[in-house]
Amino acid sequence: MTKTIHEICNVHGIADVGVCGFDACGPLLGVRAKARLPRHPASVIVCALPYYSGGYPERNVARYAVCDDYHVAAGSLLGEISDQLGRRFPGRDFVPFIDVSPIREVKAARLAGLGVVGLHGQLIAPRWGPWVFIGCIVTDLHAWADSISAPTCRECEACLTTCPTGALSREGLCRELCRSAITQKRGVLSPWEEEQVRAGGMAWGCDICLEACPMGKSPALTPLDCLKRNPLPILTRGNLGWALERKAYGYRDRGVLERNLTLIDG
């Protein structure tokens, strides 16, 4: 059973795959996508989808947003895998989720043996570091957890100490202080928030805590072509319209990105 799951995922270029019990992933998140769950969910197939596509040291958007919108790219990939699994296991449901999911994805990935959770709250995969998306396929097929060796977070606190605003601590993330969250915030920013956008120099996101993680210093390039397409590391007013149609931040109001560009351009 799990061998078949691995084989199908491997054909689509996904090597890091694990399975965990659905009930172990609770409590579920109260999102609308919860209505899409199978009637009798039993297992969660979890995929680590690496997105590191190059250095781009001069970028002004977070790494995950450099290439085309992963919701579309990874969602299509997971959809194909789900369809193939459905043909291999007739009568069973396979429902894919990426990001907007009722599943606590980081928890599911840890339970499935795909890596460990860093103090920054993100999954750290053995080969890819923290530069991974997590895709989940919920099924009413009864599978069992795979035994996959994973590293251990060194708890060096590099992610905590390099966070410029103190948003990260051992108690978790304070979103009100997080530069990434501030760049995504609608409306008028406070003077302090405006200064954080200027100081960070990012039109979208942050990445400082992930860059600091020693387990993600030399990640392998993603083998997934769908997560390498149309890289745009530097967002400008000139390419903003094009980017909003293709990038992960396209869901946000144009005004938010224009505000951030104005702030970082001085």
The total of other beta-carbon atoms located within 10 Å of residue 37's CB is 18
- Between helix 191-200 and helix 254-264 the angle, nearest 10°, is 70
Concerning whether 16 is annotated as a catalytic residue, the answer is no
Q: Which of 16, 99, 146, 265 is catalytic?
A: 99
3-state secondary structure of 77: helix
Calpha distance 190→165 (Å, rounded): 15
CA distances in angstroms from 72 to 12, 45, 144, 180, 219, listed in the order given = 16, 19, 29, 21, 23
Residues 77-91: b if buried by 16+ CB within 10 A, e if exposed? bbeebbebbbeebee
Instruction: Indicate which residues carry an active-site annotation.
Output: 99
